[in-house]
Structure 1
């Protein structure tokens, strides 16, 4: 296959489960609500900005599909103040509010049966979570329990995994292809004893992956103090079989201009699980290059697909925001694109995709 050693085909030990592509039908959306800590910031204004940003995503998603938000008991009053009455609230201890990473990855049976021949309807991979590679600033005593908590609440069959992984570190096409990043799954802070073969075998067992594409790295900011060390959902998405939506940084002054040019070249030499070369669709970044902490990682690839719609990141950049909405509408035909201000979420380390996790319909 194209792509050399960075691509795996025909992974052994494919399991009875399949992770559906994000555009497939959802049963509901899961989120967490920010509680006291670094996400809320050091003052009331910052805390309200974070709560408002998270709630705007939940409230917008609730117009398309059912939404459940996990809330730390200390934040329940604030959550009820911000969230629509249509949203279900479940209380559980939390360290943080990045549901894509702390929650489970939902899967469905690849046939009619799973787990010893017993008919199943929904599975949930409970990855091991250790604060994005045991980051010194992170705490995860509560967050490491959220995967199983959400799985039980959803009535899913729990698939425990010893692989340290996060939902933002994988992207699938629902047909066997999975995108990962060498600096995440092979991170010594996450999986010091793993190699590609072991990771691929686990992705086959849990997600039904038959073809793993190993991106060499992620965006520049992801390797700074509060980064994830290369989450793929800041770089690429798969809106349809054989189509790759790719972040683009047009400005040569930004370090990700060279990073994304290199990744685009790499991905253009790979194929999906069915052997098709990718149709690459570029999604240019907004015009802002820096904030007070340095070069930003603002991008539109970190969007969320919902039933009948797409929740797009906005950056108060009318030209770039409109261009991104147009591109998203073209690759998700028939869906309504809703642009939400994502600057407060990105300022805290992620985007709309990072704070959400879809539960597929079965």
Structure 2
């Protein structure tokens, strides 16, 4: 990568936020087909938003027809802005916020969004415009990018390190013909990445029909420089047991942008290994860091308290709040997937 100073830098999620952005579920697979599914989606998106409001402002993008129902579910402090949507995964359809190198200007990287690699079930006519829309509403300088990417496909430490997976950015359905060097050059230009740590893959279920093909934000994250939290499937009969072990070996050999090795901290997967659809990819890694807090996935599982304790140790001084994420994972994601932080200047 270039040694030139980056024009833009993506701060760590632990840096102070101005607000968190979300999108309200309004149609399709995310909302569900039955009245019970619709109610569960609305309750869960609202539970996450309302939990975040205890720590920082929330701005919710809502389709005009759903403003009344959204308002009925949301804390009065949640600000509603209207726009048409296809889905409600703000981490992926929204921009990745960055700051100028001197910290005085806010930028918003508007990745190309094509339905997680042009998935047959996905639509993205409206969602493809949300990155630029949210960036503009935030008062940011919108930074266009030709790279097909989603916010759930990257995690940064704020010092130039980025975690990503080969099956996302190098996915033929996203960026056919691009090599690692091409992706790395674009990440250097847009988010100030000076060192990429490529994971070979994500969790097993994420490659099913409604998966993302390997998003890193259910696999690993960087709570502070030099530390990696890693999803650790402890059941040897689950295929992610082998995935976790391989990723640990890779990360323990890897170095960050400073040239230093990582300390890899395992976060135990839930004891539950399957639901009605098959083996689960439920993950405590898919949490959102907010001002003075962490909004974490819970599953009504015996490992919930243990995992939230690991998160509390990883984020000292922050209050960890659990929200039942099973209705989110039923739809293909978690708390991190439906949120996007806007850093403070």
Deviations 1:19-67 (A, max 9, x none): 0000010010000000021111111111000000000000000010010
Query: Residue 349 of structure 1: which of 312, 329, 332 is its match?
Result: 332
CA 1:13–1:192 in structure 2 vs 1: closer, same or farther (change >3 Å)? farther
Give the structure 2 partner of residue 248 of structure 1.
232
Counterpart Cα distance in 2 of 1:54 and 1:271: 36
Deviations 1:166-221 (A, max 9, x none): 00000000000001110100000000021111100000000100000110000001
Give the structure 1 partner of residue 56 of structure 2.
65
| Long gaps (5+) in structure 1 | 1-9, 113-119
Deviations 1:226-260 (A, max 9, x none): 11000000100100010000000000111100111
Q: Post-superposition shift, 1:11?
A: 4.2
Query: Residue 328 of structure 1: which of 311, 334, 337 is its match?
Result: 311
Q: How many residue pairs end up in the alignment?
A: 345
Give the structure 1 partner of residue 67 of structure 2.
76
Counterpart Cα distance in 2 of 1:58 and 1:153: 19
Deviations 1:257-279 (A, max 9, x none): 01111111111110110011101
Pair 1:193 & 2:177 matched: yes
Q: Post-superposition shift, 1:110?
A: 1.2
Q: Post-superposition shift, 1:78?
A: 1.5
| TM-score normalised by structure 2 residue count | 0.98
Pair 1:49 & 2:40 matched: yes
Counterpart Cα distance in 1 of 2:66 and 2:284: 29
Deviations 1:44-101 (A, max 9, x none): 1110000000000000000100100000122222211101110000000000000000
Counterpart Cα distance in 2 of 1:13 and 1:256: 39
Counterpart Cα distance in 2 of 1:12 and 1:39: 42
Give the structure 2 partner of residue 359 of structure 1.
342
* Aligned partner of residue 38 in structure 1, secondary structure: helix
Pair 1:17 & 2:1 matched: no
Pair 1:35 & 2:22 matched: no
Give the structure 2 partner of residue 7 of structure 1.
none
* Aligned partner of residue 268 in structure 1, secondary structure: helix
Deviations 1:300-321 (A, max 9, x none): 000010000001100001x311
Query: Residue 252 of structure 2: which of 261, 264, 268 is its match?
Result: 268
| TM-score normalised by structure 1 residue count | 0.94
Q: Is this contact kept in 2: 1:181–1:230, CA < 8 A? A: yes
Counterpart Cα distance in 2 of 1:13 and 1:52: 47
Q: Post-superposition shift, 1:126?
A: 0.2
Query: Residue 203 of structure 1: which of 187, 205, 215 is its match?
Result: 187
Query: Residue 221 of structure 2: which of 237, 242, 251 is its match?
Result: 237
| Long gaps (5+) in structure 2 | none
Counterpart Cα distance in 2 of 1:322 and 1:227: 27
CA 1:121–1:42 in structure 2 vs 1: closer, same or farther (change >3 Å)? same
1:70-219 to 2 correspondences below 5 Å: 70-111=61-102, 121-219=105-203
Counterpart Cα distance in 2 of 1:78 and 1:170: 32
Query: Residue 291 of structure 1: which of 248, 263, 275 is its match?
Result: 275
Counterpart Cα distance in 2 of 1:165 and 1:14: 23
Counterpart Cα distance in 1 of 2:8 and 2:119: 31
Query: Residue 323 of structure 2: which of 327, 333, 340 is its match?
Result: 340
* Aligned partner of residue 65 in structure 1, secondary structure: coil
Counterpart Cα distance in 2 of 1:11 and 1:143: 32
Counterpart Cα distance in 2 of 1:192 and 1:36: 30
